A and B are shown apart, each in its own frame.
Chain A
Amino acid sequence: MRAITFFTKLNILLQISSLLLPVTLLTGCWDRKELNDMAIITAAGIDKKTESTIELSVIVYIPKNAGVGEEMGGGNGGQGQQVLVRSAEGISIAEAISMLQQEFPRHLFWGHNEVFVIDEELARDEDLRPTIDFIMRHPQTRERSHIFISKQKVKNIFSLNPPLERDLAEVLRNLAGLKIGVDITLKDLAEMLIGESGTAALPYIDILSPPESQDKKQTIADIIGTAVLKNGKMIGSIDASTTRGLLWLRNEIELAVVTVKPDNTEGYVSMQLLRAYSRLIPKIENGKWKITMQAKTEDDLIQNGTTLNTGNPQTIHRLEQDLKADIDNKVKEALKQVQHEMNADIFGFAEAFHRAYPNVWKKYKQNWDDIFPTVEVTLETTAKIRRPGIVTEPGAYPEQEVKTE
């Protein structure tokens, strides 16, 4: 056998690697995109333009104007606009995107589009489902992007210049994250629309009016309530306070300060939510469809504007009753508006019945629109105040004025 010397072995190695090296290059880096060649979209929105066309607006990040890059040339000096807004018209969102691409010398990059805003006019007039289909189907768009319905034209909202945050996308994303209203991602929306009831609730936003003296554009959009969708179209909206009731029913409440006015005293007591939990218990009795909402909440007392002594367990008990009444009222208000006036099941009653009575549900599924308004809702709320804070008696009242009961 011929001895394999170092060089013949090296030769073989070189031959193999010269064959393998082009393999890595064969892909041609087809998918390679440098950051410098991308226009990073942070938010997108659709307006109704004419009867048959829509207008797509996007917020695009401008890297060269962004602050703190002090080492780059240094010529930036004053802070330029960090984002730019461009719009394009089209029959569908897909067409609008291709028109929009013509306005950009860089590839549109949807991977970081965290916010979708839909104009109320469009939402009321047109079925949103084709648009959702596009967004879900597109490989780059995020299914976790937050979706909003806007009272104003999206173009106007996007032209705002938020004084605190980087751009409007960040404002809306953070607002959604605070869970003040419903927080719906694209995936949630798609699930709701194909769900049992075909309804959806989306956060409803409007421009927050800036103080008189300030620039009209120096403001943000904020969540003013909830838009209610049925069969892909918006059918109405509820305000922020009623939205609290909706959140209770959906077990989505996370952040709340409740202020109540106890009887027989002047002033108010505020409580901050610590933990909250609710669940829906469906029941069909003698052909009557019923839902019981069991809710539990634990709160901290954070402000006592009355002369009540919160060191007294009876006082605490009274306050707990007031807290419970406040929650019940909000839930009832939400039920009144959404269940009875709009007949849109955004509470998840349909799913609850489906789970509890799958066979009955199959039979009555078609008639849900008729059944839903008649569903009888019972509220079983329990409220507890866990901590009255480190002062028992009202902080700033003389002792003789404190009611001892």
Chain B
Amino acid sequence: MKEPIQKPGTNPSSLSLQDSLSANLQTNEQFFQSVYHNCADVVYRHFSIAGKMKALLIYIEGMSNIEEMDKSVLSPLMQQTPAELENLHAIMEQSITVSSIKENKTFAEVAEQISTGNPVILVDQYSIAISVGLSKWEKRAIEEPLSESVVRGSREGFTETIAVNTSLLRRRIKSPQLKMISMNIGRQTQTKVIVAYMDGLADTTLVEEAKSRLQRIQIDGILESGYIEEFIEDHPYSPFPQILNTERPDVAAANLLEGRIVILVDGTPFVIIVPTSLYSLLQASEDYYQRFMIGTLIRWLRYGFLVMALLLPSGYVAVLTYHQEMVPTTLLLSFAKSRELIPFPALVEALIMEITFEALREAGIRLPKQVGSAVSIVGALVIGQAAVSAGLVSAPMVMVVAITGIASFTIPRYNAAIAIRMLRFPIMLLAGTLGLLGIMLGLIAIIVHLSTVRSFGLPYLSPMGPMRASEMKDVMFRAPWWALRKRPRLTGDYNQNRQPPGQKPDPSKGTE
């Protein structure tokens, strides 16, 4: 079937992106020339199909697979025999040996295809454009996730390419129940965002809520999932992160299987997961991969060091300036001995050391790896050895700061550790002015705040507040997999049962 021939010579300047393509090749070309004005990377290639029909190929340099284009599109088309020149559909069906092609009718559709890297062929006399799925650009290989390393577990990490990331998820969850809804966010960047969830496991209202929050976003560009996080979180002024982010496909898959929603964003290896609670920020994927006993012990170690990361310096300051009676005598005497020549009050000393430590950490992160190690050497010497021997800082304080630093590294999620690091300072000031009472005030304020926070409808402290005793086995402990029978309850309806009961391994279950 032949496309009706339209009146040639429409003035391209009167056209807009929403309009349909013109049948006049020249008009179309002029329009795209004007849209991609001053875009040196857009390539226009005139050719003729079988030496008869004029055609134009538009693509962006570096985003398309040119070799494949030459082999599978240009050479068959240009060597067409005239007999097969009846209509464009026949040509497409017979000559273009590429798996994915698409017909586009409006300028906007064509522009989108070009921007995605798909070459577009415009043919004279036809008001449709054929885009060929040959986009290909340089991308990073799948590497080990640097921010979440494990001893045991998958070494694959998400990459910047969303198609690769969805495939990583799909390879882990083969069920067609894994749904992925795509949308573009960002007026200029048109960033592809995919909402992934398990149909039947995720609460439908939760999925709707996530989608509607994403659709509300109006911004010119999304360059990282952090942009989205700030737009969709429940309590923007809370220091605590209400959304989990991960680089690991296995973590994302595990959360999908618990009925959570994973939001993938093109251009970043970090996907975000909602809803989340404080406790999931304190759990690492490896808790579930190693045997359950060590998983449980490590969790308790983490809880203990979480408290230390928050309170150790302030506790030290409070006890040393207000409650000297509380320390065992011998310990107090060695504190007194080491503090004797220190010119600063304990609070100032603690602040100096903590701030220096934070600065060192920041410097170490931003610098190139080669210089980074130099920073840590200098740091260790400056804040450790030299400060103590110069009599500016007492040795116990160096220990306190070091233990606090290590404690904050035991928190597996970097963004949760940041919250603790920030809150440490106000509590130190409270400890320095009100002693242990100040620390208690600070703690009460934090806990009251935490109880008000929700993440997509999930109370932040759940399952501790509201208390759900049956879920404690994945918070206070890490129960063995055969005992983790039920999924955690998030919001609304949920599919409770993960697996049938009675799977504890036992000799009586064997055949003999």
Contact = CB atoms under 8 A, between A and B. Distances in A.
Contacts of A66: 333-334, 337
B400 to A, nearest CB: 14
A63 interface: yes
Given A61-B333, A111-B324, A112-B333, 20 more contacts: A9-B237, A13-B237, A29-B433, A32-B321, A32-B432, A33-B322, A33-B324, A34-B321, A34-B346, A35-B332, A36-B336, A36-B340, A40-B333, A64-B337, A66-B334, A66-B337, A109-B324, A112-B329, A112-B332, A166-B330
Contact of B391 (A42, A61, A73): A73
B320 interface: yes
Interface string B374-413: 0000000000000011010001000000000000000000
Interface of B: 237, 320-322, 324-325, 329-330, 332-342, 345-346, 388-389, 391, 395, 429-430, 432-435, 438
B336 A35 contact: yes
Central interface residue in A33, A35, A38, A114, by most chain B CB within 10 Å = A35
Interface in A34-88: 34-36, 38, 40, 42, 61, 63-64, 66, 68-69, 71-73
A72 B391 contact: yes
B322 A24 contact: no
Contacts of B339: 34-36, 63
B12 to A, nearest CB: 42
B329 A24 contact: no
A140 interface: yes
Nearest to B335: A35
A73 B430 CA distance: 33
Interface centre among B324, B335, B434 (most CB of A within 10 A): B324
Contacts of B432: 29, 32
Nearest to B328: A112
16 contacts: A24-B429, A33-B321, A34-B339, A36-B336, A36-B339, A38-B324, A40-B333, A42-B329, A61-B336, A63-B337, A63-B339, A63-B340, A64-B341, A72-B338, A111-B324, A166-B330
A27 B324 contact: no
B322 A31 contact: yes
A112 B334 CA distance: 13
B388 A27 contact: no
A245 B248 CA distance: 73
A140 B325 contact: yes
Contacts of A72: 338, 340-341, 389, 391
Nearest to B326: A111
Contacts of B332: 35, 40, 112
Q: At the interface, is chain A mostly helix, strand, loop or mixed? A: loop
Contact of A71 (B320, B322, B330, B389): B389
A13 B430 CA distance: 19
A27 B333 contact: no
Contacts of A142: 325
A264 to B, nearest CB: 52
Contacts of A16: none
Nearest to B385: A71
A152 B346 CA distance: 41
A137 B430 CA distance: 30
Contacts of B434: 24, 27
A27 B435 CA distance: 11
Contact of B322 (A32, A42, A166): A32
B322 A111 contact: no
Given A25-B433, A112-B329, A112-B332, A69 B337 contact: yes
Nearest to B433: A24
Contacts of B335: 35
A252 B340 CA distance: 41
A135 B393 CA distance: 36
A33 B329 CA distance: 17
A71 B395 contact: yes
Interface of A: 9, 13, 24-25, 27, 29, 31-36, 38, 40, 42, 61, 63-64, 66, 68-69, 71-73, 109, 111-112, 114, 140, 142, 166
Contacts of B337: 63-64, 66, 68-69
A24 B439 CA distance: 12
Contacts of A36: 336, 339-340, 342
Contacts of B341: 64, 72-73
Contacts of A69: 337-338, 340
Contacts of A112: 324-325, 329, 332-333
A27 B346 contact: no
B430 A24 contact: yes
A35 B329 contact: no
A9 B395 CA distance: 43
A385 B278 CA distance: 59
A177 B338 CA distance: 28
Q: Which of A13, A33, A140: most chain B CB closer than 10 A?
A: A33
A112 B346 CA distance: 20
Contacts of A63: 333, 336-337, 339-340
Q: Which 5 A-B pairs have the closest CB atoms?
A: A111-B325, A63-B340, A63-B336, A63-B337, A66-B337
A38 B322 CA distance: 12
Nearest to B329: A112
A268 to B, nearest CB: 39
Contacts of B338: 69, 72
Nearest to B323: A111
A284 to B, nearest CB: 46
A166 to B, nearest CB: 8
Contacts of A31: 322, 435
A61 B332 CA distance: 11
A68 B334 CA distance: 10
Given A36-B339, A69-B337, A112-B332, A27 B433 contact: yes
A388 B345 CA distance: 60
Contacts of A29: 321, 432-433
A24 B438 contact: yes
B483 to A, nearest CB: 44
A67 to B, nearest CB: 9
Contacts of B438: 24
A40 B433 contact: no
Contacts of B336: 35-36, 38, 40, 61, 63
Contacts of A71: 388-389, 395
A35 B389 contact: no
A29 B437 CA distance: 12
Contacts of B334: 66
Nearest to A9: B237
Most chain B CB neighbours (cut-off 10 Å) among A27, A71, A142: A71
Nearest to A70: B389
A98 B272 CA distance: 66
B385 to A, nearest CB: 8
Nearest to A114: B329
A35 B320 contact: yes
Contacts of A35: 320, 324, 332, 335-336, 339-340, 346
A63 B389 CA distance: 17
Nearest to A32: B321
Contacts of A34: 320-321, 339, 345-346
User: Residue among A24, A31, A61, A142 with the most chain B CB within 10 A?
Assistant: A24
B7 to A, nearest CB: 50
Contacts of A73: 341, 391
A226 to B, nearest CB: 26
Contacts of A40: 332-333, 336
Contacts of A42: 329
**Most chain A C-beta atoms within 10 Å of own C-beta, residue among B329, B332, B388, B435:** B329
A69 B334 CA distance: 9
Contacts of B391: 72-73
A24 B445 CA distance: 14
Contacts of A166: 330, 333
A29 B391 CA distance: 25
B157 to A, nearest CB: 34
Contacts of B345: 32, 34
A31 B389 CA distance: 30
